[in-house]
Amino acid sequence: MDRSSILVTRSSMPAFDEYVEEIRPLWDSHWLTNAGPEHQKLESELQTYLDVPHTSLFVNGHSALEGAIESMGITGEAITTPFSFASTTHALTRRGVKPIFCDIRKDDYTIDASKIEELITPRTTAIVPVHVYGNVCDVDAIQRIADKHGLKVIYDGAHSFGVKKNGRSTATFGDATMFSFHATKVFNTIEGGAVCYHDDALTPELARVKNFGITGPETVLSIGGNAKMNEFCAAMGICNLRHIDAEIAKRKQVADRYRKNLSGVDGIALSPEPGTGSQDNVQSNYSYMPVLFDEAKLNGITRDDIYDALQKHNIYSRKYFYPLITDFDCYKNQFDSSQTPVAQWVSQRILCLPMFADLPLADVDRISEIILATIKQ
């Protein structure tokens, strides 16, 4: 990759010496995995930062989501969104749960809560919404539906670390929230993830799921896998957590500059600004910069035209999320994307622009200029 290239994201990292100091004790203890001191420290600090009673660390976000589904006994059907990363649906299907797809809102791309109830059947056991791009779902409406029908709610919060609604962390909504700490996320542990939850009874269940079902030196009570976070990843998380608020503040500057450059252009739609519309009383983490290009208002210029124009300048945006999960080859002939027409329409027009804390504002201006020049051709 050309060093002058601008990628869609770049991992946040602490100072080299800071990380070295954090991992230095490992050379004395030789305790590299299996819930060592760094693992325990990160879990505790995350519980404080996210204001949740319980956090269980995992090797990645996908394993965390599967672990939550299994530990909570989700079976039958779960209502979710086709407009997400593959992991959301794969986690359900790998655990033997049938995904039932609900359409999304056109303004913030989260699941349309007004359409959930009509999809509930006697086999429905859970709702698995996604805080897409860090936009917060209609958590109040979803919880009302879940309470009415006796359903569990597991949020895919892969994009929403550090996001708050009415002063509450997104980690506190529903029965559980999964976070991804992948290197591309606002907060990362290199690779990693977590389940945040309220019910004390889930603690031993999640522990068994991620450690082979082992409960003691000579007891294996259930069939589990291996999904434990190691000490080096936990140490990276401890370091990054010290700087997360400053990182989010820098991301806000980037997002504000994009909004200044691209707002008010007919045919270009941005997500609701934090604190407005469906995201009223939301404190964002500015994890992504999704922009929707409506070719009907842009003289036929499409999302793909913008993507190609940027790539010619070594600027790499991403079509998150295209194709829809319902159009994946692995789910061929199982689902019908026309049943979620808003998600289908959005997926064909959305583009995520480069977004990371240290993206120079001059580069934001250049990206914006290329976009505006392309749509004026």
Specify the residue for token string 């917060």: 136
What pLDDT tens digit does each residue of the chain (377 aa) get? 566 899 999 999 999 999 999 999 999 999 999 999 999 999 999 999 999 999 999 999 999 999 999 999 999 999 999 999 999 999 999 999 999 999 999 999 999 999 999 999 999 999 999 999 999 999 999 999 999 999 999 999 999 999 999 999 999 999 999 999 999 999 999 999 999 999 999 999 999 999 999 999 999 999 999 999 999 999 999 999 999 999 999 999 999 999 999 999 999 999 999 999 999 999 999 999 999 999 999 999 999 999 999 999 999 999 999 999 999 999 999 999 999 999 999 999 999 999 999 999 999 999 999 999 999 97
How many residues appear in the chain?
377
Confidence (pLDDT) at 1: 54
Phi, psi of 169 (to 5 degrees): -60, 145
Q: Does residue 140 share a domain with residue 251?
A: no
Last residue of a domain, one of 178, 211, 242: 242
Cα separation values, 360 from 190, 311, 343, 344, Å: 23, 18, 32, 33
For the domain that residue 351 is a member of, what is the CATH number?
A: 3.90.1150.10
Read off φ and ψ for residue 355, nearest 5 degrees: -150, 115
Beta bridge partners of residue 79, listed in sequence order: 100, 127
In a domain, 345, yes or no: yes
Residue 4 lies in a domain: no
If asked whether residues 260 and 296 sit together in one domain, one would say yes
Final residue in a domain of this structure, among 242, 262, 282: 242
pLDDT at position 2 is 62
- The pTM assigned to this predicted structure is 0.97
One domain for residues 357 and 285: yes
Q: Is 358 exposed, middle or buried (0-12, 13-18, 19+ CB in 10 A)?
A: exposed
Q: Has residue 11 been placed in a domain?
A: no
Q: Are residues 221 and 270 in the same domain?
A: no
d(C-alpha 37, C-alpha 18), whole Å: 17
7 lies in some domain: no
Which region, left, alpha or beta, applies to residue 204 given φ > 0 means left and ψ of -120 to 50 means alpha? alpha
Q: Which helix (H) or strand (E) holds 98?
A: strand 98-101
Q: In terms of Cα–Cα distance, which of 53, 57, 112 is closest to 82?
A: 112
- Are 37 and 29 spatial neighbours (Cβ–Cβ below 8 Å)? yes
Predicted local confidence at residue 302, as pLDDT: 98
Q: Which residues, including other chains, have CB under 8 Å from residue 83's CB and lie 6 or more apart?
A: 104, 109, 130, 132, 321, 324, 325, 340, 343, 346, 347
- Contact status, residue 162 vs residue 194, Cβ threshold 8 Å: no
Query: Does the residue 262 lie in any domain?
Result: yes
Rg (CA), the chain: 21
User: In whole angstroms, what is the distance from residue 65 CA to residue 158 CA?
Assistant: 10
Q: Are residues 229 and 261 in the same domain?
A: no
Determine how many CB atoms are found less than 10 A away from the CB of residue 3.
Answer: 5
CB 187 within 8 A of CB 161: yes
- Regarding whether 255 and 229 lie in a shared domain, the answer is no
* Pairwise CA distance, residues 4 & 21, whole Å: 32
CATH of the domain at 92: 3.40.640.10
Q: Which pLDDT belongs to residue 131?
A: 98
Would 95 be classed as within a structural domain? yes
Q: Do the domain assignments include residue 2?
A: no
Are residues 325 and 181 part of one domain?
Answer: no
Residue among 87, 114, 120 at smallest CA distance from 321:
87
* Owning domain of residue 356: 244-375
Kindly state whether residues 237 and 263 are assigned to the same domain: no
Q: How is 164-195 classified by DSSP, letter by letter?
A: EETTEEGGGSSSEEEEE--TTSSS--SS-EEE
Which of residues 224, 242, 260 is at a domain's end? 242
Q: Identify whether 9 is part of a domain.
A: no
Residue 304's identity, in one-letter code, is D
120 and 230 in a single domain? The answer is yes
Tell me how many domains the chain contains: 2
